[in-house]
Amino acid sequence: MTAAASSSSQINLTWSASTDNVGVTGYQVYRAGTQVGTSTTTSYSDTGLTASTSYSYTVKAIDAAGNLSGASNTATATTNSGTTPPSNLALNKTGVSSSNEGTSYTAAKAFDGNATTRWASVEGVDPQWIYVDLGSVKKISQVKLSWEAAYGKSYKIQVSTDSGTPTNWTDVFSTTTGNGAIDDISIAPQNARYVRLYATARGTSYGYSLYEFEVYGTDS
Ligand SMILES: [Ca+2]
Ligand SMILES: [Ca+2]
């Protein structure tokens, strides 16, 4: 018998058919020694369980004469964590940038969920910016920048709740000591339809280049 969690509240059980020569008519399923259900097949789904909890199971076969077999081996599984990972609000949303180094490095590449594609600005020019349109106003609380080698040293994160082309920006984060790679930035929850990276000093002689520009939060 095997047990495998399929969610935070369900464990699926499967077992081999009993070879009882009288003819098996079904199975009784036990959780920690207490019967929780029956099955006429060789599988059972135990539902209504608690997240992140270990459960142990056995089965017994029942034959046409009503006799129970001995218990199977004990199978154990732990339900999944009840927390769902936050989703990236910027994923596949429309991006706009101040410049692109080329047609392979457009703003969309920073919002495509692909860690190998990237946006890059033209080389050697400040300032540069890139923003995402979340589609509607959200309450955002985290921005994660995944820089290529061409990182930003001084930049701001700005938000706007404008509709249409954004013109009013509010600073929600600023640094002059950015060090590239991953910049995972927590901010006080902000209403935002647009989220912009506004960069004023480069860490290299190149431009600014982001593999991904992620935004996390909740529906406002
Ligand atoms: Ca990408
Ligand atoms: Ca960093």
Check which CATH number belongs to the domain holding 166 and give it.
2.60.120.260
Q: Percentage of residues in the chain with pLDDT exceeding 90?
A: 88
**What is the mean pLDDT of the segment spanning 198-218?**
97
Q: Percentage of residues in the chain with pLDDT exceeding 70?
A: 98
Per the prediction, the chain carries an average pLDDT of 95
| One domain, residues 35 and 110 | no
85 pLDDT more than 70:
yes
20 pLDDT more than 70:
no
Q: Which of the residue ranges 53-62, 80-89, 173-182 would you say has the lowest mean pLDDT?
A: 80-89
CA of 156 to the centre of ligand 1 (A): 20
d(CA 127, CA 124): 10
Nearest ligand for residue 90 CA? 1
Count other C-beta atoms under 10 Å from residue 18's C-beta.
Answer: 18
| One domain, residues 106 and 208 | yes
| One domain, residues 11 and 66 | yes
pLDDT, position 129: 98
| One domain, residues 72 and 138 | no
Query: Which residues are CB-neighbours of 28 under 8 A, at least 6 positions away?
Result: 35, 37, 38, 59, 60, 62, 68
- 149, burial (CB in 10 Å: exposed 0-12, middle 13-18, buried 19+): exposed
CA of 110 to the centre of ligand 1 (A): 4
CA of 136 to the centre of ligand 1 (A): 22
Nearest ligand for residue 106 CA? 1
111 pLDDT more than 80:
yes
Note down the domain range covering 68: 2-78
> Does residue 85 form part of some domain?
no
| One domain, residues 54 and 105 | no
Nearest ligand for residue 179 CA? 2
Q: Are 202 and 153 in contact (CB under 8 A)?
A: yes
**What is the mean pLDDT of the segment spanning 124-130?**
98
pLDDT, position 18: 80
pLDDT tens column, 139-166: 999 999 999 999 999 999 999 999 989 9
84 pLDDT more than 80:
no
Check which CATH number belongs to the domain holding 46 and give it.
2.60.40.10
Q: Are 118 and 208 in contact (CB under 8 A)?
A: no
Number of domains into which the chain is organized: 2
Nearest ligand for residue 112 CA? 1
**167-173 long-range CB contacts below 8 Å, 24 or more apart?**
169/196, 169/198, 173/143
Preceding amide of 189 cis, omega within 30: no
